[in-house]
Structure 1
């Protein structure tokens, strides 16, 4: 069955946060946290695939997609603040966390602050270990020049994040990077993304904290990864096994936005994983 998908807004400290929601609220919940420079639209096909059986909730961060912007600089701490308050505002009490790209630093902050919320973890090309930082990623993190950071906000770079490492370009919908760039080009949005680019090093500084949570909590974990990712390498996927040795790991011949090309293989893995988790308490 194809689920109904609801498109809603909720006020979080004066910011109008947009989110997509589908599925029975009593079923296991999956909070879908998107990456850069995307928004919840990147999960549309996954929501269609799983939303008949599971409760899926996908917000747009402040400064992304259809959500409003924060007053003042955008940092990863402030994105996590908003997501934490969003979770409370929409009444999510227990959920599995889908962490992709920027969803890693946002989601791990939330997990460390509120571990009682987390029933499980799905990691898709979201790094928490220096092992997985490519040379491109290290250069991005080391940069402290706003003009250089602004160079990552172009259509060519946005498109490259989809195409690099992909094996069949015909499976990549141009709607993804076109919509990403549309939002990125809205007034003030590039400045927001530059703020976050310059703040990215704060995430690397927190890696030991997140690793400690993984070692201590040992959440049920599913790792799905595109090995052709030019940003976060396959070593970053394998590194999770040091702290969560029972994690289920699957690596695919695709790139950073692995769902674009490998949804038919990844969606059943997520469904099986969610099916092993408890329903919402």
Structure 2
């Protein structure tokens, strides 16, 4: 399947995105996490080559090839604003949603704002429940810019060593991890202004917690089909967070992938892609 690399202007933000599949097919919008970009979905898009769906994966502001104007404010609300504008720019009034890590609070904000827009949900290590937070995640969210030493701790997470840790932690066979993904992440995070953007988002991460009840309410009210796929060794989002989706989406399909870490697609694509294919095939 051909993958096109395009851009869209959204209120002064030049959003870079990958797109594959039939132009008239039902849409699956894929939102990546920290510290990566839409590149994390490149292999998945290839693996889903026979799907009837139109796959669209944007780079969020502060990531990948997306360009922001001077003075852009990096918060999760603003990222959701841009994704909302992106769906308008592309005419995506109805779409399924794949969320991972940072992509979860962005995409679930969109779902709560526009309850009828999201038709199905795929969650891969994307948290929306208190019980899904590890001690490490709670510590990360507890950092404050005004506290001496906290900014250095936050910035260590997107240093080359910190990025490598995020890829390797909890992975049963680290040799299965290609170094290409993390190397590209290091490159993009090193671009001018990106470290500051990442620090701003890190310090804003705790703003997601008060939103959890609204996202859970949307799940209950919408009744959309839900697939949850979770790397069991994730050091930030623990498997209890995957199982918690059953509370508000009792018919959800939940898979805990043993041997996988936070970036489960990197090591277990062969196990996860068929789950996604079958899920998509059952959608209208």
Contact 2:12 2:68 in 1 (8 A): no
Q: What does residue 277 of structure 1 align with?
A: 283
Contact 1:28 1:277 in 2 (8 A): no
Determine whether 1:40 maps to 2:45: no
Q: What does residue 25 of structure 1 align with?
A: 23
Q: What does residue 261 of structure 1 align with?
A: 267
Task: After TM superposition, list the pairs within 5 Å mapping 1:212-251 onto structure 2.
Answer: 212-251=217-256
Residues 239-277 of structure 1, C-alpha deviations (whole Å, 9 max, x = no match): 111110100011111100000111111111111111111
Determine whether 1:63 maps to 2:65: no
How many Å separate the matches in 1 of 2:267 and 2:223? 30
Displacement after TM superposition at 1:90 (Å) = 1.2
Q: What does residue 203 of structure 2 align with?
A: 198
CA RMSD of aligned residues (A): 1.0
Displacement after TM superposition at 1:40 (Å) = 0.2
Q: What does residue 79 of structure 1 align with?
A: 79
2:212 to 207, 216, 224: 207
Residues 128-165 of structure 1, C-alpha deviations (whole Å, 9 max, x = no match): 00101000000000110333322222111101111111
2:179 to 169, 174, 182: 174
Runs of 4+ in 1 over 3 A off after TM superposition: none
Contact 2:3 2:20 in 1 (8 A): yes
Which range is displaced more, 132-141 or 207-216? 207-216
Aligned length: 276
Displacement after TM superposition at 1:195 (Å) = 0.3
How many Å separate the matches in 2 of 1:129 and 1:106? 15
Contact 2:48 2:277 in 1 (8 A): yes
Q: What does residue 11 of structure 2 align with?
A: 13
Displacement after TM superposition at 1:25 (Å) = 2.5
TM-score for both structures, normalised by structure 2? 0.95
Residues 40-65 of structure 1, C-alpha deviations (whole Å, 9 max, x = no match): 00000000011332210000011110
SS of the residue 2:116 aligns to: helix
Displacement after TM superposition at 1:91 (Å) = 1.7
SS of the residue 1:16 aligns to: strand
